[in-house]
Amino acid sequence: MRAALLLALLLWQVGAANEPPVAQPGAMRYERAIHVAGNERQDGAVQACAVLDAPIFAHAAPSLTDVRLFPVQDAAAAHEVPYAITLSEAVSEETETAHVLNLGSAGGKIVFDLEMPARSYTDVVLNIDPAVHDFIASATVTGMDTLRGKETALGSFTLFDLAWQRLSRDTTIPLQESTFKVLHVELSISPAAGSAVTRFFPSMILSASVPPSREAQTIYTTVAGTAALVTKGRESVAIFEVPARVPLERVSFALAPGFTGNFSREVRVNAMADAMDDGGRAALTEEVTGNIQRVHTSEAGREIRSEQLGVDVILGANLQHAAKVEVTIENGDDQPLPIASVRLEMRQRKICFDAPAAGSLALFYGDSRLAAPVYDYARLFVASRTALVAELGPEGLNPNYRAPGDTTPFADRHPELLWIALIAVICALGTVALKTARNVGR
């Protein structure tokens, strides 16, 4: 009986030791002040959001499970302030097809209508036969609420393909935010320098697509940046050392002011963790490729302006360990580009909460024992268009930090006691069984 009671006590202690502790500001290593602009003019609590930066991901527990908000005044005795974390992405829109109607020619132009999706949009991408290249086109666009209805002029836009000049192709019509149900397009097209094509036909218009509007597209936050690029042969290379657990989702480039050259360059992004994997093997190198380009010129009397200075990447090399990231621009036989900076970016993440009318808040993190919080606020969260802008102060060590005691589970610290208790229980049960058998025999 005593052995059984001892075993029950040990199992109870193991269970209690494995329960996550309650969040306490004094047990968190890092602290950051939060300033909410304009909150002093509010009568009550109002939603506010602050952008999360790279140091939080580097020093907090994985997935930010230990991030907590507390009032600054007497934080040790106060309750947590509930919050929700948002991720910038085009969640409500996907690229959709705009149906091509009434495709034909008139007055030497290719004309057609586009049946647009029932939402707001900005860009329209024409899918022009890839076999047709080296051309300059002017797309005159009008919008209508119904086919053959009243027309509203939306402007003229230049499309082009300059393959012969080793430059890019751009068939995107960049509109202002619009909701017209039908677009009428008149395409005046002429050959560019080096073109072998002299006539263009309506059949070159294969289809059209409508990407998410610019207002619904992703916003990014800079993780790290550098202006130090090294030329290695025919390549320009930027090297980054990235802390563990910081998301990497995009690489962007800035050109030196005053540079007016046109270019189209391939980009290669390689990432490798600094440590071995769990099996003791060297971590595999990740590689993502893309293209950056800029075309600012005049062809056939039309101005062309196209620019793409970012490459989407999703890297996981630093999910568990710090990683080395190399960004390489392939220059070929051309001169290296005058790059002012290269930036690693992540999709913008915000922490949103109801800021109190009085008093201030602080953000605490750095206690890996904590489980992710569960708040009704996060379950029911709806982002407000009028949320106040909150700013995080610089990261600093928590002046009230006290290292918690040994958090190793009781069973891991004393495995021998559990075995002793199990053996004692077995012996006790065996003794009882023997006595019972003897009594039955008599």
Kindly state whether residues 104 and 193 are assigned to the same domain: yes
| Domain span including residue 35 | 22-86+349-397
Buried b (16+ CB within 10 A) or exposed e, 271-297: bbbeeeeeeeeebeebebebebbbbeb
The pLDDT of residue 187 is 95
Same domain flag for 148 and 193: yes
Residue 14 has pLDDT above 50, yes or no: no
Number of domains in the chain: 4
* For residue 334, pLDDT beyond 70: yes
Of 165-174, 219-228, 404-413, the range with the lowest mean pLDDT is 404-413
User: What is the pTM assigned to this prediction?
Assistant: 0.68
Residue whose C-alpha is closest to residue 238's, from 341, 146, 139: 341
Tokens of 12: 């109870």
What CATH number does residue 319 fall under? 2.60.120
Residue 200 sits in the same domain as residue 245: no
184-202: per-residue pLDDT in tens?
999 999 888 777 777 899 9
The CATH number of whichever domain residue 203 belongs to comes to 2.60.120.260
In a domain, 1, yes or no: no
- For residue 140, pLDDT over 90 is answered with yes
Q: Are 319 and 369 in a shared domain?
A: no
Is residue 114 within 8 A of residue 185, CB to CB? The reply is: yes
Greater pLDDT, 410 or 213: 213
Instruction: Confirm whether 403 is domain-assigned.
Output: no
**Residues 356, 332 share a domain:** no
Arithmetic mean of pLDDT over the chain: 85
Q: Which two tokens stand for residue 263?
A: 């270019």
Q: How far apart are CA 284 and CA 323, in angstroms?
A: 11
Helices (H), 24-94: 54-59
